[in-house]
Structure 1
Amino acid sequence: MQSNSGKILIVDDDPIQRRLLQEAVQKFGHKVKLAENGAEAVRILTGPEGADVDLVILDMVMPELDGIGVLTKIRGQKISIPVIVQTAHGGIDAVVSAMNAGAQDFVVKPVGPERLDVSIRNLLKTSALEGEITRFRKQASGTLTFSDIITHSPAMERVINLGKRAASSNIPILIEGESGVGKELIASAIQGSGDRKSKPLVTVNCGAIPDNLVESILFGHEKGAFTGAVDKHVGKFQEAHGGTLFLDEVGELPPEVQVKLLRAIQENEIDPIGAKRPVKVDFRLISATNRRLIDQVKEGAFREDLYYRLNVFPIWIPPLRDRHEDIPALTRHFLARFAAEERKPQVASIAPDALAMLQAYNWPGNIRQLENTVFRAVVLCDGASLTADDFPQVAAAIDHNPQVASRSSMSAHAAPMSAAAEAPSTPAAGSPASDTALPNHDQIAQTHSAASHDAFRHAAPFGFMRSLDNDGHVRKLVDVEEELIRTAINHYSGRMTEVAKRLGIGRSTLYRKLKEYGLEDQDGNKDAAA
């Protein structure tokens, strides 16, 4: 069995035809969603559910809104999802009309399974490759938007919602997250969604510049300003004039450069080395770090005043292990890209057991590691589908971790069940089929959630609190309140007057709550100095 793990919408008013197509598509390894008519299909594709659909199989002849009508409506709303149309006969006029309306392929009823499988795999691969090319072009031109980001994760949806809010203003943004989670992509989407779209997005990796060159690279220098300065050099701030400056790994900046950065933010002007007068610059600043800047502030390695200038609008990007829902779509896009780059068009899919293995892995290097892993797998692959054997390093890591290996095995067996569970024809709760399928799927989700929450608790930057417990339920108010008080005491170094002020409660109330939560020992008697 091969799978690109796409979700396919089947649109047909004939229940028997819907059922036949559903069984065939699920046999190919895909998830299925059903629509009984054209109007329902348009509602799905134009609503929130449309983001999860990767391909449509569309009947041409339906009452009220036919296939051509559906194509006209979705293409009119710039929905570029690939569509395979079904025709009762292969008349040339019907085919031409469908293609002109925006269909990518057609099949004649009754369609053979092999023909349908080839069409689905080719279109999913082509769509993924086109998406990659579009993203590259948009990122290069400064027009990338949040709709171009590949995600099916609620955690990333929250990130995107925050990014959209920030994009509409000129507020300084600090993006925090582990290496490889996609901080630069979010920065590009923020820039491409605001007033500065199509303007320069200048990226600087502060951790990759030698300390003696940082000031010159960021702020520029005049000819003759120092030994070796044979020409005038325009710094990154001036390159970003009118656009956005993205400072990646901003915590690596040396102290003397932090002072000049603070002045640039406050005054919107810079002092190139050797210049007689300051230079005005108009830029939007986005910073990023894979370390907790507040810890560096406490250690004296980062200026506190600069930290508060950068951390006006913080955005935390969760690691890939906390959003495993994104792995299938990301894998498919990387597969299409590298198969094209390596001139291996025959590599068109990934086997379900291999995909389950990828979803079970912890991915300490996040999306960048997944990208490189798929690249290596495409190079190793000799067949038409990536298999578990093409991911030897992931397989070895899972073999050394029995818990993860068990989760991988469960995911591989649960994949077709979860696909069936999404269709309206799923057996009712309490039937033998539902009693075997759903608990396995839930167990996988809970196992992953429990494994990832501890990592999230340690990885989340200071000041961020979880809203869900380890079982995925909303945390109790008393638990959230206790954690917030602990955070405030830590943040304000035990100065209870300041803690009470910032929490918006009286000192007597604060001390009562300290007693309730057993936190009296955290009262460090520092109010006398406050």
Structure 2
Amino acid sequence: MTAHILVIDDDPVQRRLLKNMIERAGHVAHMAENGRAGLDLLDRKGGLINVILLDLMMPEMNGSAFLEALAERENTIPVIVQTGQGGIETVVSAMRAGAFDFVVKPVSPERLGIAVGNALKVGDQREGGRRGGRRHRGETVHFDDIVSASPEMLRVIDLGRRAAQSNIPVVLEGESGVGKEMVARAIQAASERAGKPFVTVNCGAIPHNLVESILFGHEKGAFTGATERHTGKFMEADGGTLFLDEIGDLPLEVQVKLLRAVQQGEIETIGARYPQKVNVRLISATNRDLVNEVREGRFREDLYYRLNVFPITIPALRRRKEDIPVLVRAFVRRFAGEQKLARPIAVSAGAMALLTAYDWPGNIRQLENAIFRAVVLSEGGELTAADFPQIAAQVPGYGLSENGAVTWEAASAGIAEPLSDMRLPSVYPDFRPGESAGAPVRGEPENVIASVDPGGHVRKLAEVEEELIRFALKFYHGQMSQVARKLGIGRSTLYRKLKDYGIDPDNPLKDAA
């Protein structure tokens, strides 16, 4: 799809660079040197523009004033803010002003492409979201339906597209709720088997004595209670795709038959005299470490190597927090449509901060359920942090005040600040939100990481480095790319140091000295 993108930036060099990136991506670029010129251009070509790329710092009319003017006109074109300063304050101010997304200068063509692509999807789906229509379990899912801004998920999508070009067995690894079935359906839709059956089996939800019958079927009279012939899931999926969820729960005796189905393309129906040929694309999923299952004797090694030809690991939501705002907006739009609300529901900056601060152990499924509950119970046109009391109760430092507002309690200063101020709490109790992220509490030492030990001697460099890495992991919520970038090292170097210091990325403060 060719989109028309309005670039508002006072720097001619930056405008030229962005114009080049936009045109190389197959879109049309329109240029304006400040906010006022941008509004004039919208008056002339407003119906043509799909996305606005807006600089914040400009003469005459800056980005914030432009966003206010846009809101007054009730213009719903998605706005991507570009800024030369990163950090949570910049993200918050942009979201509060109505921006859809933000990019930090100098932006790469890849990051700009992601932001524009997501904005275009919002524009395409806005009317559909107002009409309603939740995606049902059996509907076709395409890779374009998987909205993400994280490099890790973009890598998953890229691997999925490659896997779709062949019939190679795929294993999707990841925690419960990360979207393994959605990726499996997208692989099916992008393959030559699109339009053919897509059959799902949750191996962990079937009684062990029925697994074989459900997968491979049985003949009438094959065993006590088999009063009629039953077609198994393999035959139902013939010509299409069979998705085996939680494959690590398969009994060992069934694994033998599954191995034969994978190796020879034939199944043994219980009670049948001869095996049957089947043409099935097999996609498996697991939240277990299959290598460990093989080591412990609970999973056949030969079957593991047959299935694990093309593994794809889907990261947990806490590892890709940049996806949370995108997912929140998508879920709010969908559920507001289902409820047939008269107008769209917005998400306050405070609510977005709270949702981003939470680690979501149930991953996307838990986030989806939380948004659904909030939308159904909402009474106004905006979701606030107070609409997520169960989440606030589980985030350290957050709580509900007597009037129901979500606050952050400064542990060491006893200061309660409303979350509507939208400054995320620091990860260390010695800090509280201030004029800049990580500002120390008054009366506390300026340096969180001590330079000298209790004996008055300068600490070893390795000790300080380890503590700084632990702090950065907690501060940036385990986002490895951002941690490495802020520390000024490569990701491979960061992973090596984690191993050297024995740091768990999911719990960086564990076993810290």
- TM tier relative to shorter chain: 0.5 to 0.7
Choose between structure 1 and 2: higher helix proportion.
1
Give the deviation of 1:308 after TM superposition.
1.2
**Code of the aligned partner of 2:150:** S
Q: Which moved more, 1:447-456 or 1:324-333?
A: 447-456
- C-alpha change, 1:470 and 1:232, in structure 2 (3 Å) is farther
Q: Which of these residues, 390, 403, 414, is aligned with residue 393 of structure 1?
A: 390
Q: Aligned partners of 2:308 and 2:25: how far apart in 1? A: 38
AA aligned to 1:244 is T
> 2:249, 2:161 → 1: CA distance?
27
Shift of 1:115: 2.8
TM-score (norm. length: structure 1): 0.60
Q: What letter corresponds to residue 311 of structure 1 in structure 2? A: N
State the identity as a percent: 47
Residues 118, 480 of structure 1: alpha-carbon distance in 2 compared, 3 angstrom cutoff = closer
State the match for 1:462 in structure 2.
Answer: none
1:242 pairs, out of 239, 242, 258, with 239
Q: Does 1:310 align with 2:307?
A: yes
Matching residue within 364, 374, 378 for 2:361: 364
Task: Output one character per residue of 1:276-315: Cα deviation in whole Å (capped at 9) or x when no partner.
Answer: 1111000111100011111111111111111111111111
* Other-structure match for 2:87: none
Q: Find the counterpart in structure 1 of residue 125 from structure 2.
A: 127
CA–CA distance in structure 2, aligned partners of residues 254 and 281 of structure 1: 22
Q: Deviations over 1:383-422 (max 9, x none)?
A: 001111110111111255799988x98996469xxxxxxx
Distance 1:203 1:384, change over 3 A: same
State how 1:348-427 maps to structure 2 within 5 Å.
348-400=345-397, 413=422
For structure 2, the 5+ residue unaligned runs are: 30-36, 53-67, 79-97, 101-118, 400-406, 411-416, 425-434, 440-468, 503-513
Q: What SS does the aligned partner of 2:74 have?
A: helix
**Equivalent pair of 1:264/1:270 in contact (CA under 8 Å):** yes
2:207 is the alignment partner of 1:196 = no
CA 449–249 in structure 1, closer or farther in 2 if over 3 Å, else same: farther
C-alpha separation in 2, matches of 1:447 and 1:355: 25
CA distance 1:69–1:371, shift in 2 (3 Å): closer
C-alpha displacement of 1:43: 2.4
Higher alpha-carbon deviation: 219-228 or 319-328: 219-228
For residues 475 and 225 of structure 2, what CA distance do their matches in structure 1 show? 51
User: In structure 2, do the counterparts of structure 1 residues 479 and 437 end up closer, same or farther at CA, with 3 Å as the change threshold?
Assistant: closer
3-state SS of paired residue (1:265) = helix
Q: Distance in 1 between matches of 2:72 and 2:383?
A: 19
SS at 2:148's partner residue?
A: coil
Inter-CA distance 176–12: structure 2 relative to 1 (3 Å threshold): closer
Which one has more relative contact order, counting CA pairs under 8 Å at least 6 apart?
1
Q: 1:11 aligns with which of 1, 6, 23?
A: 6
Query: Which of 211, 216, 230 is matched with 2:213 structurally?
Result: 216
Change (3 A) 1:35 1:232: farther
Q: Which is further off, 448-457 or 297-306? A: 448-457
Q: How far did 1:338 drift?
A: 1.4
| 1:345 Cα offset (Å) | 3.6
Residues 4 and 48 of structure 2 are in contact (CA less than 8 Å); yes or no, is this contact kept in structure 1? no
- Provide, for residues 17-37 of structure 1, a one-character-per-residue CA deviation record: whole Å limited to 9, x for no partner: xxxxxxxxxxxxxxxxx9689
Shift in Å, 1:471: 4.5
- Within 5 Å, give how 1:278-289 maps onto structure 2: 278-289=275-286
**Aligned counterpart, 1:473:** 489
- 1:455 shift after superposition: 7.3
> Are the equivalent residues in 2 in contact too, given 1:162–1:315 (CA < 8 A)?
yes
CA contact (8 A) 1:338 1:375 kept: yes
Give how far 1:229 is off: 1.7
Contact kept in structure 2, 1:58 and 1:67, CA below 8 Å: no
Name the SS for the 2:135 alignment partner.
helix
Within the candidate set 339, 344, 357, 2:341 is matched to: 344
**Aligned pair 1:114/2:83, yes or no?**
no
Q: Do the aligned partners of 2:126 and 2:333 also contact (CA within 8 Å) in 1?
A: yes
Deviations along 1:491-522, one digit per CA (max 9) or x if unpaired, are xxxxxxxxxxxxxxxxxxxxxxxxxxxxxxxx
The aligned runs of 1:315-334 (5 Å cut-off) are 315-334=312-331
Deviations 1:239-276 (A, max 9, x none): 11111111000001111111110111011000111111
Classify 1:456/1:308 alpha carbon distance in 2 versus 1 (closer, same or farther; 3 Å): farther
Paired with 1:183 and 1:112, the residues of 2 have a C-alpha distance of 39
1:28-87, Cα deviation, whole Å (9 max, x unpaired): xxxxxx96899669528647x9xxxxxxx987969xxx959967xxxxxxxxx679xxxx
> Alpha-carbon deviation of 1:148?
1.6
* Whole-angstrom distance in 2 between the partners of 1:46 and 1:447: 42
Tell me which amino acid in the other structure corresponds to 1:211: H
Aligned pair partner of 1:295 in 283, 292, 297: 292
SS at match of 1:282: coil
Return the alpha-carbon distance in structure 1 between the equivalents of residues 477 and 352 of structure 2: 24
Alignment deviations for residues 417-467 of structure 1 (CA, whole Å, 9 cap, x no partner):
xxxxxxxxxxxxxxxxxxx77999xxxxx999603999799xxxxxxxxx9
Superposed displacement of residue 127, structure 1 = 2.2
Once the two structures are TM-superposed, the CA of residue 221 in structure 1 deviates from its matched residue by: 1.0
CA contact (8 A) 2:221 2:228 kept: yes
1:473 counterpart letter in structure 2:
I
Mapped partners of 1:12, 1:452: distance in 2: 33
1:308 and 1:187 map into 2 onto residues whose CA distance is: 19
1:321·1:366 contact (CA, 8 Å) conserved in 2? yes
Contact 1:175–1:287 (8 Å) recurs in 2: yes
Alignment CA distance shift 1:44-1:58 (3 Å): farther
